[in-house]
Structure 1
Amino acid sequence: MTLPVPALELVADLTVELDPIRAMGQGRAGARRIIPIVGGKVTGPKLQGRILNVGADWQTVFADGLAELDTRYAMETEDGATIEIINYGYRHGPEEVIAAIARGEDVDPDSYYMRTHARLETGDPRYDWVNRTLFVGVGAREKQSVILKLYALM
């Protein structure tokens, strides 16, 4: 038996706007912080719309600099559907690169690793396909936003 090789299909580019980081202090596993998600846009071949002002990224930053990303937010499509996005991933890289990101500097996304896997859900039958598809993403952190390319795993 030969199993198919998975392929990636671009679904959308997301620009996720952020409010300032709310530091929670040291937790059981590392430094905890909440980054509110306050808006943004979605453009692409499969999804278009806007990021709603709901949700946050609940991060844990470990002693070695690894940031565990744990987000839950929502988008509204151009035709009025609401789609929940749950996105989990990792960001890490050389210490000086991560420090530059923390200072809000522009950093080449190739100089660090920011990858996610996402689950989307909606009750709108026009977008039922998102309920049955796995997604992966590649991202970059900017001063007040995250840029994410979201792909369907085919």
Structure 2
Amino acid sequence: MDEDSGTHSRSALEPTLEHVLDLEIEVEDPIEIGETGDGQRRIIPIVDGTVSGRIEGHVIPAGADYQLFRVDRPTELVAKYAFETDDGSRVYVENRGIRYAPPETKERLRDGKPVEPDEVYFQSTPQFETADPELEWLTQSIFVASGIRQPNGVKLAVYRVA
């Protein structure tokens, strides 16, 4: 406690967010696995997209979002995919998150219908792997992303926690 002010002093810096990337990801229709006991398992193929910001490039059509859809609880998201920069470097992404909305909104989302972004809590924590030394900064920080679900894809704003 700070004796002069009577308040507690901070021992760590408060984190800040630095916007580094925007991802626009295009998906195909879900592959429905079915009710597995903890929710409706679905696999959503990732087929295209763009990367912009500190890195420019495109999403490689070789990934998927492995979702556990739930009506009354948050939907679990685990997206695994890659992108290639305009310079030819490749980056693997594993992005875990949750999406939560009222049941009627979630059903519209599940059915691929549009919803207003402020109706949905959609946050995630992407992790990156790359062999390019110029992009090693992607492997040296924690990142968070805020998402917007669209009928045929997802928009993600990615921030570095500093």
Task: State TM-score, norm by structure 1.
Answer: 0.94
Matched pairs, number: 153
Cα distance in 2 for residues equivalent to 1:81 and 1:115: 26
In structure 2, the gaps of 5 or more residues are 1-9
Q: Confirm or deny: 8 A CA contact 2:71 2:106 kept in the other structure.
A: no
Question: How has the CA–CA distance of structure 1 residues 73 and 116 changed in structure 2, closer, same or farther, with 3 Å as cutoff?
Answer: same
Cα distance in 1 for residues equivalent to 2:70 and 2:120: 16
1:31-42 equivalent positions in 2, closer than 5 A: 31-42=40-51
Counterpart amino acid of residue 118 in structure 1 = P
Question: How has the CA–CA distance of structure 1 residues 140 and 24 changed in structure 2, closer, same or farther, with 3 Å as cutoff?
Answer: same
2:86 aligned with 1:78: yes
> Cα distance, 1:4 vs. partner?
0.6
> Cα distance, 1:97 vs. partner?
1.6
> Cα distance, 1:65 vs. partner?
4.4
* 1:113 equivalent in structure 2: 121
Equivalent of residue 95 in structure 1, options 103, 114, 128:
103
> Cα distance, 1:2 vs. partner?
2.0
Question: How has the CA–CA distance of structure 1 residues 114 and 36 changed in structure 2, closer, same or farther, with 3 Å as cutoff?
Answer: same
Give a deviation string over 1:56-115, Cα, whole Å, max 9, x none.
001112351421000110010111110011000000111222222233332211111000
* 1:12 equivalent in structure 2: 21
Equivalent of residue 28 in structure 1, options 23, 34, 37:
37
Cα distance in 2 for residues equivalent to 1:26 and 1:97: 20
Q: Secondary structure at the match of 2:118?
A: helix
Which stretch shifts more, 6-15 or 93-102? 93-102
Which of 1 and 2 has greater Rg? Answer: 2
Give a deviation string over 1:2-37, Cα, whole Å, max 9, x none.
201111111111100101100001113211010000
In structure 1, the gaps of 5 or more residues are none
Q: Secondary structure at the match of 2:72?
A: coil
Task: State TM-score, norm by structure 2.
Answer: 0.90
Aligned structure 1 segments of 4 or more residues deviating by more than 6 angstroms: none
Alignment RMSD (CA, Å): 1.3
Cα distance in 2 for residues equivalent to 1:63 and 1:100: 11
* 2:4 equivalent in structure 1: none
